[in-house]
Amino acid sequence: MVFKSLFRKPSTIQYMGGKLSLDNRVRGLLRYDPATCIDCKLCMRDCPTGAIRIVNNGTKTERDMHAYLDTGLCIFCGQCADSCSKNSLSCTSKADLSQLKHDDLTIEL
């Protein structure tokens, strides 16, 4: 049994040293499209952890939209993307989001 294991492919994946390859059904980092966002903030209201923040740095008529995600709070449930009627948010399968510093966990999407 032990001898047979020498020739078997590993069941685990090499991570940090190698590339993380996940099924594309995995819910990972969100993608944001500021061009379609109407600043309704439904995504923020429905987020169970308060991880997402939508900010308009422009005016009501000339929007300058930005989305920020606290990857330390996000549980990657996809609720914000489901709540968005404009499909401005979607889930990607990118999941290697670890950071050394706590402040770096909040990123602009």
Residue 58 to residue 68: CA distance in whole angstroms: 16
Range list of β-strands (E), 17-78: 30-32, 52-56, 65-70
Residue 96 to residue 53: CA distance in whole angstroms: 21
Residue 5 to residue 28: CA distance in whole angstroms: 33
- For ligand SF4, the binding residue among 13, 20, 22, 78 (CB under 6 A) is 78
Stretch that binds ligand SF4, among 3-11, 13-21, 43-51, 92-100 (CB under 6 A): 43-51
- For ligand SF4, the binding residue among 40, 97, 105, 109 (CB under 6 A) is 40
- For ligand SF4, the binding residue among 39, 64, 104, 108 (CB under 6 A) is 39
92 lies in the binding site for ligand SF4 (CB under 6 A) = no
74 lies in the binding site for ligand SF4 (CB under 6 A) = yes
- For ligand SF4, the binding residue among 31, 72, 77, 106 (CB under 6 A) is 77
Which residues lie closer than 8 Å to 48 by C-beta, 6 or more apart? 75, 77, 79
28 lies in the binding site for ligand SF4 (CB under 6 A) = no
β-strands 65-70, 106-108: how paired?
Answer: antiparallel
**Residue (6 or 55) nearer to ligand SF4, CB:** 55
